[in-house]
Structure 1
Amino acid sequence: MASPLKRLLIGRPLKSSEAGEQKLGKLKALAVLSSDALSSIAYGTEQILLVLVAVSAAAMWYSIPIALCVLVLLFALNLSYKQIIYSYPHGGGAYVVSRENLGKNAGLVAGGSLLVDYMLTVAVSVSSGTDAIVSAVPSLYPFAIPIAVILVIGVTIINLRGITESASILAIPVYLFVFSIVVLIFTGLFKVVMGIDAGHETASVGTHVQGVTLFLLLRAFASGSASLTGIEAISNAVPLFKKPQAKNAAKTLTIMASLLGFFFMGITVLAFVYGTVPELKVTVLSQIAENVFGRNFMFYFIQATTALILVLAANTGFSAFPLLAFNLAKDKYMPRMYLARGDRLGYSNGIITLAVGSIVLIVLFKGKTELLVPLYSVGVFIPFTLSQTGMIIKWWKERSPGWHKKLAANLLGAIISFTVLIVLFLTRIESVWPVFYFLCRL
């Protein structure tokens, strides 16, 4: 009985000789590995505005320079992770970089942080998607946690069917989301430039606002930097790409970073020009869509694709976690079971472990996204900082042609990532103290 059900859900077993077919081209890889990063625009700008509006609505203009600073960090991370992809084409990302350049303990901190962060990626993404579903159908609120658990199980089954099949399923909603946001930004900016939408009062850029301090701006920057979570996934998953693997992975990373930067800046600018203030039951992205289109087909299309990609953003974790667990198991830091491939030639033990861990987090935190996000952000900026620092040491030791520019890019990324990490610890200590305790124990 179990075997026919397994075949129905997962599909027929694949031969080892078919492993070459389980590789991704750039378009499918972009859909599978960028959904986490791209979906973060649904809440990235909002996180900045929530900090600024606590002082005054007039402080909203600071979101523009803060967004530009986030883009600088994105640019530095993009350069750094491209260098990591070419230097470590067998995958492993921050774990391998930290282990080889900073030592075993730093590697384990980076690897452990990413393993937990991928669980948090799934928990946050699915909880956010569930919030969108419950917002549309309030009567489902009492069933929010069971809905989230069912969604995790659904995404798990899709990934157990194999990387190429899951990519084919997930590509359509991801690209529909990309299309909807591109239309939203271009339409909104066109209407503003042409003066079609007038009367939205916003404090001018440069207006002095009482109560705005450097610490507040750093907190807003740290909150907005949550949009960069997921950018490291491609460097962990280089072996999933078709040959030439490193070249295809690097190109996919650049495309993802370009889309993320354009979306993040576009949404932030529209939020500013429309004077959008965060509300309890309506997201900033939803308010912008309503301002641009009204409550017509495009408004509901954006809402639907946003809810869908928030759920599917969990797939980034399902793609990267098994490969990271494989690298840790290969170095004998995790059980050997994570080296084994399943019926569909994926690392199914890693997929199932990720699903179980994510469900536990959803139940423990009662599906509350706001409780999960601080841990989520800290979990990714630890390996960001370690990988940047590791690459600095690598360039300093090797001093290969052009090493000065490479080191400068990594130094910038390391400084900004470490600053974000410290600000997160100082401003969210009540939420992130378990991570702080773990680091102190090391």
Structure 2
Amino acid sequence: MTFKRLLFGRPLKSSEVDAEKMPIWKALPILSSDALSSVAYGTEMILLELATVGAFAFSFSLPIAIAIILLISILIVSYRQVIDAYPQGGGAYMVAKENLSMMWGRLAGVSLLIDYTLTVAVSISAGVLAITSAFPAGLPYIVPIGIIFIWFMVWMNLRGTSESGNVFALPTYLFIVCMLILVGKGLFDWLTNNVQAEHHVSIPTAIPSGLTWFVLLKAFSSGCSAVTGVEAISNAVPNFRDPAQRSAKRTMLTLGVLLAVIFGGVTILSQAYDIHPDSTGTKTVLSMVAEDAFGRGVIYYIIQIATMMILTLAANTSFNGFPILASIMAQDNNMPRMFSNRGDRLAFNHGIITLGVLASILLIVFGGRTESLIPLYAIGVFLSFTMAQVGLVIKWCKEKSQGWKRKAIINGIGALVTFFVVIIFSLTKFEEGAWIVVFITPILLWVITKINKHYKNVAKQLNVDLAVPIPTTDTVIIIPVAGIHKVVVSTIGYAKALTPNVVAFYVAFSPEAAKEMEDKWAQWNPGVRLVVVVSRYRTVIKPLIEFIGRIEYHLGEKKRVTVLLPEFFTSKWWHRLLHNQSAFRIRATLFARKDVVVATVPFRLND
């Protein structure tokens, strides 16, 4: 068994791709872990913003959470319509591409690719913070631990969707159960007045002095991190087992219900237990809620470990979404074509590895601090949300299918709300780091536009009219020789089998060397004409180029020049360093010429 097979498993046949598709129970942990995990820090992000004006503002966390839950509901309904309209997958990219234009489709694709990369960095850093909240000794090693987690995810996803789903399902369901138990216990304490803090959960009716709309909007935008990830299911519809559309819609609905219950519940409990966010960044709000509910006992540590695992596994949503989206974009010539190729385990290896590299760089640059990454986080995904909703409105209005008005109204509301969130994010988070995403998005859009232009140009030049017969051209073969030896003998024999028009070309550095070579060639007499040129400046390439030019001048367009290079290859790499690399230099020079064919006749040496 090879090391590669031991590490990644046996190769899978293309016919086994159906076995890699996901049932609902496996799709939920694979595609929803990002959205589910965001409840671990969504409430905390709201409280951190409100804390800038004072603890009196914490009562506004509940109405902000209600607004975010309404946003989640709108998106769940909207993306269920995306699944129906585009069962081939691609989500916002496909919707924008087909209903707006390819440019808008590329923008949606770029936005999602950026968001997927940030999701990995944010999820991993938050996961490490969750575990260091319980075990502070790990605080100095946040970045190394995070990078280990990222490449563990890379490794598992390179082993295939089915295997990674089996591994990641248990931690996700453990987190869901832990959160439901925590919310249930906390709500029971609150309803029975069994809470230590003398604090009442309420919805404020007026904005007190000192609290501005700008702060509330910043808190809302920070809390919207709980919304990211809901689009991943619509991107990966083809990866569901049949009936794929129905399974994807059920998974989407299940996700929406869980998000509303857990996120809303944790926000209520943060008020009920009078939780204040830790300004040092060493304790999470969820950790403090769990500690107040259960104390620092076994259940507390189980919750922290489950939170750490789900936050780490949240990156798995991106490790499924990024490669699938990149492959769809590559099929449209908007990404390098390598991203559309599946590996031995039917995974999109290039997308998985690229995502791992980019996320590792982000983790190192930002020092693994979640609060530093959050401002970059959701602009891309909400921009793609907006384009998807606008695209669907246009689609329904054009097709006028049954119930199109209702669908257009739903998607129209979704477009307005998500665009409003994009504006809020751009304004409130711009100085905190959102400018990076605003700056890099158009650059990446320009890059993939250039990629698409290149592929179109290549296709245009390579296009063949099947009705036109293949033109035949004769060729003259030039063989640069450095002497008479077996490599030259085999090359001349091969050339004469192709055409009688063969010329050997020799560069001498002195008249004496030229005379000696001519005498040897005449004595050998291989039936091929030898042209000898004396180079006063001891260079081989320039005389060869000039000779090719003279041949082309006399031949015109009737014949093509081919340069056939005799080249021997040593058995050991260091042996190659002991020989001149003249063939390599000639090949590198002639490859730049459009009018010359360059080929190599290899001769392999023994030890």
Q: Please give the range of the TM-score, normalised by the shorter of the 2 chains.
A: over 0.9
Matches within 5 A, 1:422-433: 422-430=423-431, 431-433=433-435
Matches within 5 A, 1:136-175: 136-175=134-173
Q: Which structure has the bigger radius of gyration?
A: 2
Q: Any conservation in 2 of the 1:382–1:421 contact (CA below 8 Å)?
A: yes
Alignment partner, residue 349 of structure 1: 350
Q: Any conservation in 2 of the 1:58–1:203 contact (CA below 8 Å)?
A: no
Higher relative contact order (CA 8 A, sep 6+): 1
Q: Is 1:89 aligned to residue 116 of structure 2? A: no
Q: Is 1:368 aligned to residue 366 of structure 2? A: no
Q: Is 1:309 aligned to residue 310 of structure 2? A: yes
CA distance in 2, matches of 1:172, 1:81: 26
Compared with structure 1, are the counterparts of its residues 139 and 275 closer, same or farther at alpha carbon in structure 2 (3 Å cutoff)?
closer
Q: Is 1:32 aligned to residue 30 of structure 2? A: yes
- Following superposition, the deviation at residue 199 of structure 1 comes to 4.1
- Following superposition, the deviation at residue 425 of structure 1 comes to 1.1
Q: Is 1:212 aligned to residue 220 of structure 2? A: no
> Could you list the runs of 5+ residues in structure 2 that have no partner in the other structure?
446-607
Alignment partner, residue 435 of structure 1: 437
Q: TM-score, normalised by structure 2?
A: 0.70
Q: Any conservation in 2 of the 1:97–1:390 contact (CA below 8 Å)?
A: yes
CA distance in 1, matches of 2:244, 2:205: 49
Q: Any conservation in 2 of the 1:192–1:198 contact (CA below 8 Å)?
A: no
Compare 327-336 and 59-68 and name the one that shifted more: 59-68
Q: Any conservation in 2 of the 1:58–1:202 contact (CA below 8 Å)?
A: no
SS in 1 for 2:322: helix
CA distance in 1, matches of 2:204, 2:434: 34
Q: Any conservation in 1 of the 2:133–2:284 contact (CA below 8 Å)?
A: no
SS in 2 for 1:201: coil
> What's the CA shift string for 1:138-184, capped at 9, x where partnerless?
44334322221111111111111110110000000000000000000
Alignment partner, residue 269 of structure 1: 268
Q: Deviating runs (4+, > 4 A) in structure 1?
A: 438-442
CA distance in 2, matches of 1:289, 1:134: 15
Q: Any conservation in 1 of the 2:43–2:266 contact (CA below 8 Å)?
A: yes
- Following superposition, the deviation at residue 275 of structure 1 comes to 1.4
Q: Which amino acid aligns with 1:249?
A: A
Q: As a proportion of its length, which structure holds more helix? A: 1
CA distance in 1, matches of 2:135, 2:272: 31
Alignment partner, residue 63 of structure 1: 61
Compare 17-26 and 213-222 and name the one that shifted more: 213-222
CA distance in 2, matches of 1:439, 1:10: 34
Q: Any conservation in 1 of the 2:59–2:204 contact (CA below 8 Å)?
A: yes
Q: Any conservation in 1 of the 2:124–2:311 contact (CA below 8 Å)?
A: yes
- Following superposition, the deviation at residue 413 of structure 1 comes to 1.4
Q: Any conservation in 1 of the 2:197–2:272 contact (CA below 8 Å)?
A: no
Q: Any conservation in 1 of the 2:222–2:374 contact (CA below 8 Å)?
A: no
- Following superposition, the deviation at residue 368 of structure 1 comes to 2.1
Matches within 5 A, 1:335-346: 335-346=336-347
Q: Is 1:52 aligned to residue 45 of structure 2? A: no
SS in 2 for 1:89: coil
Compared with structure 1, are the counterparts of its residues 33 and 176 closer, same or farther at alpha carbon in structure 2 (3 Å cutoff)?
same
CA distance in 2, matches of 1:146, 1:204: 42
Q: As a proportion of its length, which structure holds more strand? A: 2
Q: Is 1:22 aligned to residue 20 of structure 2? A: yes
CA distance in 2, matches of 1:330, 1:302: 42
Alignment partner, residue 278 of structure 1: 277
**1:74 alignment partner, one of 69, 72, 88:** 72
SS in 2 for 1:290: helix
Matches within 5 A, 1:329-340: 329-340=330-341
SS in 2 for 1:313: helix
Q: Which amino acid aligns with 2:404?
A: W
> Could you list the runs of 5+ residues in structure 1 that have no partner in the other structure?
none
Q: TM-score, normalised by structure 1?
A: 0.96
Compared with structure 1, are the counterparts of its residues 213 and 143 closer, same or farther at alpha carbon in structure 2 (3 Å cutoff)?
closer
CA distance in 2, matches of 1:66, 1:339: 41
SS in 1 for 2:26: helix
> What's the CA shift string for 1:274-321, capped at 9, x where partnerless?
211111322111111111111111111111100111111110001111
Alignment partner, residue 233 of structure 2: 234
CA RMSD of aligned residues (A): 1.6
- Following superposition, the deviation at residue 27 of structure 1 comes to 0.6
| Number of residue pairs aligned between Structure 1 and Structure 2 | 440
Q: Which amino acid aligns with 1:248?
A: S
Q: Which amino acid aligns with 2:236?
A: A
CA distance in 2, matches of 1:282, 1:126: 16
Compared with structure 1, are the counterparts of its residues 67 and 237 closer, same or farther at alpha carbon in structure 2 (3 Å cutoff)?
same
Q: Any conservation in 2 of the 1:59–1:203 contact (CA below 8 Å)?
A: no
CA distance in 1, matches of 2:141, 2:273: 35
- Following superposition, the deviation at residue 367 of structure 1 comes to 1.8
Alignment partner, residue 420 of structure 1: 421
- Following superposition, the deviation at residue 98 of structure 1 comes to 0.8
CA distance in 2, matches of 1:195, 1:371: 37
Matches within 5 A, 1:110-259: 110-197=108-195, 199-202=197-200, 204-206=202-204, 208=206, 209-259=208-258
SS in 1 for 2:378: helix
Alignment partner, residue 292 of structure 1: 293
CA distance in 1, matches of 2:215, 2:192: 35
